[in-house]
Amino acid sequence: MAQAVDEIEVDLSGIQRAAILLMYLEPGMARRLLQKMQDDEVRAVGLAMATIQHVAPQTIERIVAEFVQDLHQVSLMPKSGAEFVTDVLPELLDDDRRKDLLPMINRRVNKDFELFIANRPPASVAAFLRDEHPQTQAVAMALMGSENAATLLRFFSEDARSEVTKRMARLKRIPGELADDVIGALRRTLGRQDDHLDVGGVDKTAKVLARMRRTDNAKILEMVADDDGDLADALRRRMFLFEDLRELNNRGIQALLKEVERDDLLLAVKGATPDLLELFLSNVSSRAAVDMREELEIMGPAPKKKLRTAQERIVATAMKLVEEGTIYLPMGGDDDDDDE
């Protein structure tokens, strides 16, 4: 949501200040600044720009003044060693030394690959590495930094973790060309973070199945289960969610309440939206509703996993009642619908 930015700027983040500065600089200067920024920084600044609606002149003046002051201080300071190696040293060496020595130095001081991996979804990186030979996995883990490697190992099986750990521990030195090949392969495969869209995975696929005829989605799920039982179970659980129970009429809610455990109901509605909570409470006695409200207040926060498990049990009960014809829920097309 766009926000107005007035002279009170204590809530402005560094990214927002950078966005405001770039928005109000002369376009040529802003372009040159953007060319010096990493892709992830440009993306963050662009997203910050979209949140800014109006900026008071006093705020712009202060941000520009601070920028000029910071720029002056930076100009008086020498570059860090790593920055000097990356930005200045190449210009100080002749062609032969630049070609022979710089790659050797960069492999030891350059952190670009570590940052590249850190800015990618761990599951995507792990999915690519799982198809590689364990020795390649070990080399990649050794090159990407300890934090990244520790995160990715969580996505491996116990046997694979053990194998990669042993191979990493036995690595002492690797050829520079091999390191370049592994880094290059990961960069090419993973591509740019901005090119990846969240398309929903299990949740959206389950919604697609839920809108199909029951005979059709049942056949699909049966075939999926033959190859991946866990995936089929996950799809079944997500085809109809607890929040979808709002489609029940009062008679359906009352029939469902007769079949569910009170503890499950309390946990489930604890994590529900206010309107769904009221739908359930309106279908119990006044006294029972008062008691439930009091118990919910006393409960305090509950672990999300427990809430979701309770909700899934109630949904499973609802699905059983639907199959028995006791209640009705609008789920996809009927089995006897004609194809259009």
What gap in Å lies between CA 17 and CA 30, rounded to an integer? 14
CATH no., domain 240-324: 1.10.220.30
51 has a pLDDT exceeding 50: yes
Residues 6+ apart with CB under 8 A from 237: 206, 312, 315
Measure the CA dihedral 221/225/228/232, to 10°. 40
By 3-state DSSP, what share of the chain in percent is helix, strand and coil, each rounded to 5?
70, 0, 25
Measure the CA dihedral 172/174/176/181, to 10°. -130
Name the band, by pLDDT with cuts 50, 70 and 90, for residue 198: low
Report pLDDT for 8: 41
Class of domain 3-75: mainly alpha
Chain mean pLDDT for the chain: 78
What gap in Å lies between CA 271 and CA 143, rounded to an integer? 42
Q: Encoding tokens for residue 274? A: 């206010």
Average the pLDDT over each of 172-176, 260-264, 321-325 and give the range with the smallest value. Answer: 172-176
- Decide which of 288 and 59 is more confident: 288
- Decide which of 182 and 254 is more confident: 254
Residue 42: its H or E element: helix 39-49
Report pLDDT for 75: 47
Amino acid sitting at position 240: F
Buried b (16+ CB within 10 A) or exposed e, 206-217: bbebbebbbeeb
Within the chain, strands assigned E span 3-5, 52-55
Residue with tokens 């503890």, as numbered in its chain: 263
Q: If we measure between CA atoms, which residue out of 221, 216, 241 comes closest to residue 232?
A: 221
What gap in Å lies between CA 71 and CA 59, rounded to an integer? 18
Task: Give me the mean pLDDT over the 50-78 stretch.
Answer: 69
Report pLDDT for 340: 44
Q: If we measure between CA atoms, which residue out of 20, 31, 90 comes closest to residue 61?
A: 20
Report pLDDT for 103: 61
**Model confidence pLDDT, tens digit, residues 213-261:** 778 888 898 898 888 888 888 888 778 788 888 888 899 999 999 999 9
The answer to whether the CB of 219 falls within 8 A of the CB of 292 is no
Q: Encoding tokens for residue 300? A: 């305090």
Report pLDDT for 1: 45
**Could you say which of 3.40.50.300, 1.10.220.30, 3.30.420.40, 3.30.1330.10 is the CATH number of the domain covering 111-195?**
1.10.220.30
Report pLDDT for 282: 92
Q: Encoding tokens for residue 78? A: 């020498």
Please report the DSSP string for 257-289 in residue order.
HTTS-HHHHHHHHHTS-HHHHHHHHTTS-HHHH
The answer to whether the CB of 167 falls within 8 A of the CB of 149 is no
Task: Give me the mean pLDDT over the 60-67 stretch.
Answer: 78
The answer to whether the CB of 168 falls within 8 A of the CB of 152 is no
Listed ranges 21-25, 57-61, 253-257; the one with the highest mean pLDDT? 253-257
Residue with tokens 């370049």, as numbered in its chain: 180
What three-state secondary structure class fits 55? strand
Task: Give me the mean pLDDT over the 13-40 stretch.
Answer: 82
Quick one: how far is CA 281 from the chain centroid?
35
Task: Give me the mean pLDDT over the 65-69 stretch.
Answer: 74
Average the pLDDT over each of 66-70, 74-78, 151-155, 244-248 and give the range with the smallest value. Answer: 74-78
- Decide which of 153 and 204 is more confident: 153
What gap in Å lies between CA 267 and CA 254, rounded to an integer? 18
Q: Is 313 exposed, middle or buried (0-12, 13-18, 19+ CB in 10 A)?
A: middle
- Decide which of 171 and 81 is more confident: 171
Domain with CATH 1.10.220.30 in the chain: 111-195, 240-324
Name the band, by pLDDT with cuts 50, 70 and 90, for residue 192: low
Report pLDDT for 334: 53
